[in-house]
Amino acid sequence: MKVLLDLVARQLHAQTAEATRQGQFTPQQQRAIDAAIDAAVTALREHRPVDTTDLPPAVAQLFAAFQGTSSRFVDSDDAVDPPEAAAALRPGTRVLLTCGTNDVQVPCATTDALTAALRRAHAGGPSRVTLSDVDHLLHDAGHPATLAPAALAALHRFARPR
């Protein structure tokens, strides 16, 4: 299973749908953009140049970056399926999985399969910790430049010797 590019595509499709809902795109433009996103993901996975003709400039820049110096990272990260990786853990391996309720990039619901895989692998640790009002970078509105107190607390609990 491929993961990184699937997640990026899901995020871009959601953003395009929202932009269409707000009147920035017509439904026809949305369909063309969504098809171009899917084609770009396929091209990246097949190591072919991405056609950015039907993509908004910001999305075209993202895919251009994925083809450039980031291509090795994209290839390697896209090849990792977190639930499969979790299944390979030795029982008792301590793991801290966090999800933030304000994370629009990787919402908590998208970590359900990983959480279940960690349980099946008998991983140690607190399993998944849901961080209220915390975003993808572990910030909250009151601490936009530093780790949110909830994230720090979860890390401190995890780091305590057992």
138 and 102 belong to one structural domain: yes
DSSP per residue, 23-71:
TSS-HHHHHHHHHHHHHHHHHHHTT-----TTS-HHHHHHHHHHHTTTH
pTM: 0.74
Contact between 40 and 50 (Cβ < 8 Å): yes
Block means of pLDDT (10 residues each) for the chain, length 162 residues?
82 94 96 96 93 91 86 88 92 94 88 92 88 95 92 92 76
Q: What is the per-residue pLDDT for 155?
A: 93
Residue 92: which region, alpha, beta or left (left: phi > 0; alpha: psi -120 to 50)? left
Q: What is the per-residue pLDDT for 120?
A: 93
Cβ-based burial of 28 (10 A; exposed 0-12, middle 13-18, buried ≥19):
exposed
55 and 110 belong to one structural domain: no
38 and 71 belong to one structural domain: yes
Collapsing DSSP to helix, strand or coil, 130 comes out as: strand
Collapsing DSSP to helix, strand or coil, 144 comes out as: coil
Q: What is the per-residue pLDDT for 146?
A: 94
Domain encompassing residue 120: 82-159
Q: Which of 156, 111, 104 is nearest to 130 (CA)?
A: 111
124 and 107 belong to one structural domain: yes
Q: What is d(CA 107, CA 130) in angstroms, rounded to the nearest whole number?
A: 10
Cβ-based burial of 15 (10 A; exposed 0-12, middle 13-18, buried ≥19):
middle
90 and 61 belong to one structural domain: no
Q: What is the per-residue pLDDT for 2?
A: 59
49 and 62 belong to one structural domain: yes
For residue 81, give the H/E element and its range: none
58 and 92 belong to one structural domain: no
Q: What is the per-residue pLDDT for 37?
A: 96
